[in-house]
Chain A
Amino acid sequence: MSDRSTFWPAPPDSITARIEAVGVTVTASCGDRGVFLLSGSSKTVAQLVKDYPGTLLQIAPDRAMLVTDAQVGLQDGWHPAGVAISDLSDAHIRIDIRGPAAAALLALGSASLAIDPNPRAAAVGFAGVTLLVEPLPDGARLYVERPWAPHLWHWLLAATQTAKDQP
């Protein structure tokens, strides 16, 4: 079998990676956030996170992901209050898709985002992988697990390099 490092394109540098296309800009980032997966009743979870500014992405009735800039002293494991916690701060690459054409690009990636761009549950199938969606005023932020991030990036490159003569 021959070397596949030519066929599989090298992953971009997630700090500098950027796609500029007509009506849409795609950027990537990672690190510099505390990201915690929380499982428990929504009341218990809300109680736990009330002191941490940030976003709470609801994945399931008993599962949410906290994204915060703050220094969070939450330990991995089971908390007697009734919450299970996992530090996933390094698990995702965040990909922002913004601009007037962002909605169409998001719809191309996900039939469910085409139907509802502001889903109640953050996990959607997108470009063949499952990831988390945080809607933004002019697009969305996607949280993709690191192992899938290079694929997602190359999919976005392919999707934004549309031939002008193909609708």
Chain B
Amino acid sequence: MTAARRKPRYSALALLREGLRGQSGWGPAWRSPEPKRRYDAVIIGGGGHGLSAAYHLAKDHGVTNVLVIEKAWLGGGNTGRNTTIIRSNYFNRESQDLYDASLKLYEGLSRELNYNIMFSQRGSIELAHSAADMEGLRRVVNAMQVSGIESSLLSRDEVLAMVPLLDPSPNTRWPVVGAAIQRRAGVARHDAVAWGYARAADGFGVDIVQSCAVSGFLIQGGRVKGVETPFGLIEADVFGMAVAGASPEMARLAGFKLPLLCMTLQAMVSEPLKPCLNHVVASTPNGAYVSQSDKGELVIGGGLEHVPSFARRGDLRKTAEVLASVVEMFPAFSTLKLMRQWGGTVDTSPDNSPILGPSPVPNLYLNCGWGTGGFKAIPIGGKMLAHLMATGKHHALSAPFGLERFATGRLIDEAHAGVAHD
């Protein structure tokens, strides 16, 4: 194991010192090396999951001779495009174990990475607009409580007290009947998660190479031996892919198929406002969700576009549909303006659960299929991929999510996991 090349510590003291020196002493958060010909491990995809995997390979398994290849700029895919929500309010035990482990990692992540990811555990509220909705929420809240994960139901009055901008009238399209809340859930600064992992991994000696696309695989004796890049062939003992919407194409290069449908998911922000919304608020029936960033912007998302696409833009009518739902629930938002709108390409699986495990081609491991819910799972997704790459075996938490479940039928159906699922 090479000696970890750690980073100078970030701290208030360092800020003080550098403030007096005109910021001249800060060093690069990560290097921009040229890749070597060979590594112990190569991770394809420099987003949150890929960078987290590199970090965990080094930290959990002592594997530091690692390359992360990113086709554009690190953290620029879905990690930089999502609505930053972190929660673990899932129904199935396997999902709860996975996502709550991720939430727990998020809780200590800023300190562990020495990078403030601004995780604000302000609570995630899921609204009910009918008695049937409340029954559905009760089912999930009880599932979580049985598993020891904090969650509770809120009455209509309690919701309106916490979220005073919600329309309290029963004569609105989405009357508030009650809600479920997970208080440990919240939002974080999405770019900071990628940057924090990148800096820490780089500190261990991991090479991160950006603007470098994988154009093919070298497969010998049925095993992946190398990747083709603009820098030429790079060989390694083991490979992992964490490329989200690009997963089907990456799989095609390696000669197999994945049961994924790639759809555009939009996100949008309002102009910044003084604090007016202190929780994440979501409505599964209409599909919209909203929170307020620490900069003051309302961050809004909705359901998937109806037509598969890789354009990462989205249709104007979908934007309008999402905003109409939000304005109906929060009538004062009718005075606000949409400032910016974009999209990401999400890879959705048949049971809305991720795919973690060996690919059909030996030496290549999969981390994909997170659909609309990948950001909350960055810590655990990376940790699981690292475990697979380092040991060749599943971690207990990732074992239920292998690709083979679509053949065995042991699905983990999370159709009710969150608003963005169809």
The residues of A with any CB-CB pair to B shorter than 8 Å are: 1-2, 6-7
Query: Would you call the interface of chain A mostly helix, strand, loop, or mixed?
Result: loop
The 4 A-B residue pairs with the shortest CB-CB distance in the complex, in nearest-first order: A2-B170, A7-B171, A1-B131, A1-B130
User: Complex formed: what's the CA distance from A7 to B171 in Å?
Assistant: 5
- Interface contacts beyond A1-B175, A2-B170, A7-B173: sample of 9 additional A-B pairs, CB < 8 Å, sorted by A: A1-B130, A1-B131, A1-B177, A2-B175, A6-B171, A7-B170, A7-B171, A7-B172, A7-B175
A1 — which chain B residues lie within 8 A by C-beta?
130-131, 175, 177
**Can you list, as one digit per residue, whether each of B130-157 has a CB less than 8 Å from chain A (1) or not (0)?**
1100000000000000000000000000
List residues of B (88-134) whose CB comes within 8 Å of A's CBs.
130-131
B175 — which chain A residues lie within 8 A by C-beta?
1-2, 7
User: Complex formed: what's the CA distance from A7 to B173 in Å?
Assistant: 8
| Closest chain B residue to A7, Cβ basis | B171
B356 to chain A, nearest CB (A): 39
B172 — which chain A residues lie within 8 A by C-beta?
7
| Closest chain A residue to B132, Cβ basis | A1
B322 to chain A, nearest CB (A): 14
B177 — which chain A residues lie within 8 A by C-beta?
1
B130 — which chain A residues lie within 8 A by C-beta?
1
Query: Would you call the interface of chain B mostly helix, strand, loop, or mixed?
Result: loop
**Can you list, as one digit per residue, whether each of B166-196 has a CB less than 8 Å from chain A (1) or not (0)?**
0000111101010000000000000000000
Most buried by B among A1, A2, A6, A7: A1
User: Complex formed: what's the CA distance from A6 to B172 in Å?
Assistant: 10
| Closest chain B residue to A6, Cβ basis | B171
| Closest chain A residue to B131, Cβ basis | A1
B131 — which chain A residues lie within 8 A by C-beta?
1
User: Complex formed: what's the CA distance from A20 to B189 in Å?
Assistant: 53
User: Complex formed: what's the CA distance from A1 to B172 in Å?
Assistant: 12
User: Complex formed: what's the CA distance from A2 to B170 in Å?
Assistant: 7
12 A-B interface contacts by CB (under 8 A):
A1-B130, A1-B131, A1-B175, A1-B177, A2-B170, A2-B175, A6-B171, A7-B170, A7-B171, A7-B172, A7-B173, A7-B175
| Closest chain A residue to B317, Cβ basis | A111
Most buried by A among B131, B170, B172, B177: B170
A6 — which chain B residues lie within 8 A by C-beta?
171
B171 — which chain A residues lie within 8 A by C-beta?
6-7
B12 to chain A, nearest CB (A): 52
List residues of B (304-359) whose CB comes within 8 Å of A's CBs.
none
A2 — which chain B residues lie within 8 A by C-beta?
170, 175
User: Complex formed: what's the CA distance from A137 to B170 in Å?
Assistant: 44
B173 — which chain A residues lie within 8 A by C-beta?
7
B319 to chain A, nearest CB (A): 15
User: Complex formed: what's the CA distance from A7 to B167 in Å?
Assistant: 14
B170 — which chain A residues lie within 8 A by C-beta?
2, 7
User: Complex formed: what's the CA distance from A7 to B172 in Å?
Assistant: 7
User: Complex formed: what's the CA distance from A6 to B177 in Å?
Assistant: 17
User: Complex formed: what's the CA distance from A1 to B285 in Å?
Assistant: 15
| Closest chain A residue to B172, Cβ basis | A7
User: Complex formed: what's the CA distance from A129 to B52 in Å?
Assistant: 45
User: Complex formed: what's the CA distance from A6 to B170 in Å?
Assistant: 10
User: Complex formed: what's the CA distance from A2 to B131 in Å?
Assistant: 10
User: Complex formed: what's the CA distance from A1 to B177 in Å?
Assistant: 7
B233 to chain A, nearest CB (A): 50
**Can you list, as one digit per residue, whether each of B199-228 has a CB less than 8 Å from chain A (1) or not (0)?**
000000000000000000000000000000
A7 — which chain B residues lie within 8 A by C-beta?
170-173, 175
User: Complex formed: what's the CA distance from A2 to B177 in Å?
Assistant: 9
B413 to chain A, nearest CB (A): 27
| Closest chain B residue to A3, Cβ basis | B170
User: Complex formed: what's the CA distance from A6 to B175 in Å?
Assistant: 13
User: Complex formed: what's the CA distance from A7 to B131 in Å?
Assistant: 17
| Closest chain A residue to B173, Cβ basis | A7
A154 to chain B, nearest CB (A): 13
| Closest chain A residue to B134, Cβ basis | A1
B127 to chain A, nearest CB (A): 13
User: Complex formed: what's the CA distance from A6 to B173 in Å?
Assistant: 11
B176 to chain A, nearest CB (A): 11
User: Complex formed: what's the CA distance from A123 to B91 in Å?
Assistant: 40
| Closest chain B residue to A128, Cβ basis | B321
| Closest chain A residue to B170, Cβ basis | A2
User: Complex formed: what's the CA distance from A1 to B175 in Å?
Assistant: 9
B153 to chain A, nearest CB (A): 15
User: Complex formed: what's the CA distance from A7 to B130 in Å?
Assistant: 14
| Closest chain A residue to B321, Cβ basis | A128
| Closest chain A residue to B133, Cβ basis | A1
User: Complex formed: what's the CA distance from A27 to B165 in Å?
Assistant: 40
User: Complex formed: what's the CA distance from A2 to B130 in Å?
Assistant: 9
B225 to chain A, nearest CB (A): 52
A155 to chain B, nearest CB (A): 13
**Can you list, as one digit per residue, whether each of B37-56 has a CB less than 8 Å from chain A (1) or not (0)?**
00000000000000000000
B111 to chain A, nearest CB (A): 45
